[in-house]
Amino acid sequence: MADSTTSSGIKGPGIFLAQFAGTEAPFNNLRNITRWAGELGYKGVQIPTWESGLIDLQQAASSKDYCDELAGVCAENGVVITELSTHLQGQLIAVHPAYDELFNGFAPEALRANPKARQQWAVEQLLLAAKASHNLGLKAHATFSGALLWHTHYPWPQRPAGLVETGFAELAARWLPILDAFDAAGVDLCYEIHPGEDLHDGVTFERFLDATGNHPRCNMLYDPSHFVLQQLDYLQFIDIYHDRIRMFHVKDAEFNPNGRSGVYGGYQNWKDRPGRFRSLGDGQIDFGAIFSKLTQYGFDGWAVLEWECCLKHPEDGAREGVEFINRHLIRTTDKAFDDFASSGADEASNRRILGLAD
């Protein structure tokens, strides 16, 4: 098992607090929830910035002292802040009118009847998050891209020529000032590749990356559970995009198609869908292969549990997730396994081995 604090490989275990934060102890404030996480054995926490009981984003953006206080509270409980998240705010950067009602709850109540003001608030939130991440000394940040095109992902009637290009050009135009702000802060902006977002697979990420001019801060949060539900090769994805993978959500899933429904799920609830999220170890994902591939490519970010399961209690999932991640962490080797058989070499001996000796 790797040492999560000293290994040059993947760090962990971490936990995303979004699915646990609430109004009752121990989930009601940063001190209590980090004590709970630390006692379980987690070494890092990923903080959702929309949870005001955990962080005041405005203050974190403006005050290094406040950020030091947050880090101090975490340190007292044996954890560090791994990253901040603006998943909900990022969603509001781009919302097709068909989804206005569904996403209104992500914004302050006063903005819910005003999509333009709602979007501007979301932009301001991301700009604050860039500054807050910098003040906390973080290197990566999690978000969603939002979507202008998602309603056309399985098109009928067919998409008009140029629609996709126009959509990605507009999406990039909305995000470029934010990407520049994260660049100025020295922080990678990591889009979770996720159905419902315009960035939902490798091809759509490539379209967006191209539309941003290959912006250096345009990167990914890798979560294999969303690829299982799409039937996308989550291991080859790492081979292709490892240079842009800067964050990692450890979340399990399963896909069990039947004669009645498949990838699209038949509008069923999560429990009855063929594709559904599961607690770590209860699904079908080969995490041994994932951790190996990420380690192979030098990923040294955090392995962060994101608990989402339609069956198991979240506190059980969190408790089990610690050992699961610990079991998969790999301490990278500093020597080759066959070094003991080395006979030493120099240029002259290499030439002799090749039959090139004078």
pLDDT tens by residue, 71-122: 999 999 999 999 999 999 999 999 999 999 999 999 999 999 899 999 999 9
Task: Give residue 260's domain range.
Answer: 11-353
- Region 288-293: mean pLDDT is 98
Number of folded domains in the chain?
1
- Mean pLDDT score of the chain, rounded to an integer? 95
Cα atoms in the 13 Å half-sphere on the side-chain side of 304: 31
Its pTM surpasses 0.85: yes
**For residues 128-140, average pLDDT:** 98
pLDDT category at 1 given cuts 50, 70, 90 is very low
In a domain, 5, yes or no: no
Q: What is the pLDDT of residue 203?
A: 98
Question: Looking at residue 357, what is its pLDDT?
Answer: 78
SS3 category, 121:
helix
Average pLDDT score over residue span 199-210: 98
Task: Place 3 in a pLDDT band, splitting at 50, 70 and 90.
Answer: very low
| Higher pLDDT pick, 128 / 333 | 128
Report which of 178, 151, 180, 175 is spatially closest to residue 164, judged by C-alpha positions: 151
Domain contains 165: yes
**What CATH number has the domain bearing residue 40?**
3.20.20.150
C-alpha 111/C-alpha 155 separation (Å) is 31
pLDDT at 4 > cutoff 50: no
Any domain includes 4: no
Residue 223's pLDDT band, with cuts at 50, 70 and 90, is: very high
Residues 212, 218 contacting (CB under 8 angstroms) = yes
Domain assignment present for residue 328? The answer is yes
Residue 5 has pLDDT above 50, yes or no: no
